[in-house]
A and B are shown apart, each in its own frame.
Chain A
Amino acid sequence: MNGILVRLTVRALLLQRRSLALAALAAAPLLMSFVFAVGARAGANHRLFYSTLVQQLFLPIVAALVALVVGVSALGDEREDGTVLYLVATPVPRLVLVGSAIAAAWITAMVLLVPSLLLSAVLALGHRLTAGDLLWPLLGTALACLAYCSASAWLSLRVRRPVVIGVLYILLWEGSIATFAASASKLSIAAYGRALVAQALPQANPPVAGPVASFIVLSVVVAGACWLGARLLSRVELP
Chain B
Amino acid sequence: MSEPVIEFEGVSHWYGDTVAVADVSFMVEPGVTGLLGHNGAGKSTALKLCGGFVTPRSGNVRVFGVDPRRDPAVYRRIGIVPDDSPPWPFLSAVDVVAMCATLRGVENPRAAAEQALDDVDLSDVAGRTVGGFSHGMRQRVKLAQALVHGPDLLLLDEPLNGLDPAQRRQVVDRLRSLGEQGKTVIISSHVLHEVDRTAARVLVLVNGHLVADGETLEIRTLISDRPRSVRLAAADDGRSLARELVSAGVVDAVRFEDGELVVETADIERFSRVLPAVAQSTDTRLERVEPVGDDLESVYAYLHERARARAR
Q: Are A239 and B84 in contact (CB under 8 A)?
A: yes
Q: Are B69 and A91 in contact (CB under 8 A)?
A: no
Q: Using Cβ atoms and an 8 Å threshold, which residues of chain A touch B100? A: 86, 90
Interface residue? B72 (CB, 8 A): yes
16 extra interface residue pairs, beta carbon distance < 8 Å, beyond A86-B87, A89-B75: A2-B103, A11-B90, A82-B82, A82-B86, A85-B53, A85-B85, A86-B100, A87-B103, A88-B72, A89-B51, A91-B74, A91-B76, A93-B72, A235-B55, A237-B53, A239-B84
Interface residue? A205 (CB, 8 A): no
Interface residue? B80 (CB, 8 A): yes
Q: Are B48 and A90 in contact (CB under 8 A)?
A: no
A96 to B145, CA, bound (A): 21
Knowing A81-B85, A234-B69, A238-B48, say if A86 contacts B145 (CB, 8 Å): yes
Q: Using Cβ atoms and an 8 Å threshold, which residues of chain B touch A238? A: 48, 53-54
Q: Are A8 and B88 in contact (CB under 8 A)?
A: yes
Nearest CB in chain A to that of B51: its residue: A89
Q: Using Cβ atoms and an 8 Å threshold, which residues of chain B touch A92? A: 72, 103
Q: Are A89 and B86 in contact (CB under 8 A)?
A: no
Taking the closest CB of chain A, its distance from the CB of B265, in whole angstroms, is 45
Tally of A-B Cβ pairs under 8 angstroms:
72
Interface residue? B301 (CB, 8 A): no
Taking the closest CB of chain B, its distance from the CB of A227, in whole angstroms, is 16
Q: Are B80 and A85 in contact (CB under 8 A)?
A: yes
Q: Using Cβ atoms and an 8 Å threshold, which residues of chain B touch A15? A: 90
Interface residue? A12 (CB, 8 A): yes
Residues of chain A from 136 to 175 with CB closer than 8 A to chain B in the complex: none
A residues with a Cβ closer than 8 A to B are: 2, 4-5, 8, 11-12, 15, 81-83, 85-94, 234-235, 237-239
Knowing A83-B87, A86-B85, A239-B85, say if A4 contacts B72 (CB, 8 Å): no
Q: Are B73 and A91 in contact (CB under 8 A)?
A: yes
Q: Are B84 and A8 in contact (CB under 8 A)?
A: no
Nearest CB in chain B to that of A3: its residue: B102
Interface residue? B104 (CB, 8 A): yes
Q: Are B75 and A90 in contact (CB under 8 A)?
A: yes
Taking the closest CB of chain B, its distance from the CB of A100, in whole angstroms, is 11
Q: Contacting B72 at CB < 8 Å: which of A8, A81, A90?
A: A90
Interface residue? B273 (CB, 8 A): no
Choose among B55, B86, B103, B105 the residue with the greatest number of A CB atoms under 10 Å from its CB: B103
A51 to B78, CA, bound (A): 55
A-B pairs with lowest CB-CB distance, top 3: A82-B85, A90-B103, A238-B53
Interface residue? B200 (CB, 8 A): no
Taking the closest CB of chain A, its distance from the CB of B256, in whole angstroms, is 50
Q: Are A82 and B88 in contact (CB under 8 A)?
A: no
Q: Using Cβ atoms and an 8 Å threshold, which residues of chain A touch B288? A: none
Pick 15 A–B contacts, CB within 8 A, sort by A.
A8-B91, A11-B90, A12-B90, A81-B85, A81-B86, A82-B82, A85-B82, A91-B72, A91-B75, A234-B70, A235-B69, A237-B55, A238-B53, A238-B54, A239-B85
Residues of chain B from 100 to 117 with CB closer than 8 A to chain A in the complex: 100, 102-105
Nearest CB in chain B to that of A7: its residue: B99
Taking the closest CB of chain B, its distance from the CB of A74, in whole angstroms, is 14
Taking the closest CB of chain A, its distance from the CB of B154, in whole angstroms, is 11
A237 to B70, CA, bound (A): 14
A34 to B35, CA, bound (A): 64
Choose among A81, A86, A88, A94 the residue with the greatest number of B CB atoms under 10 Å from its CB: A86
Q: Using Cβ atoms and an 8 Å threshold, which residues of chain B touch A4? A: 99, 102-103
Q: Are B55 and A89 in contact (CB under 8 A)?
A: no
Q: Are B75 and A237 in contact (CB under 8 A)?
A: no
Taking the closest CB of chain A, its distance from the CB of B135, in whole angstroms, is 14
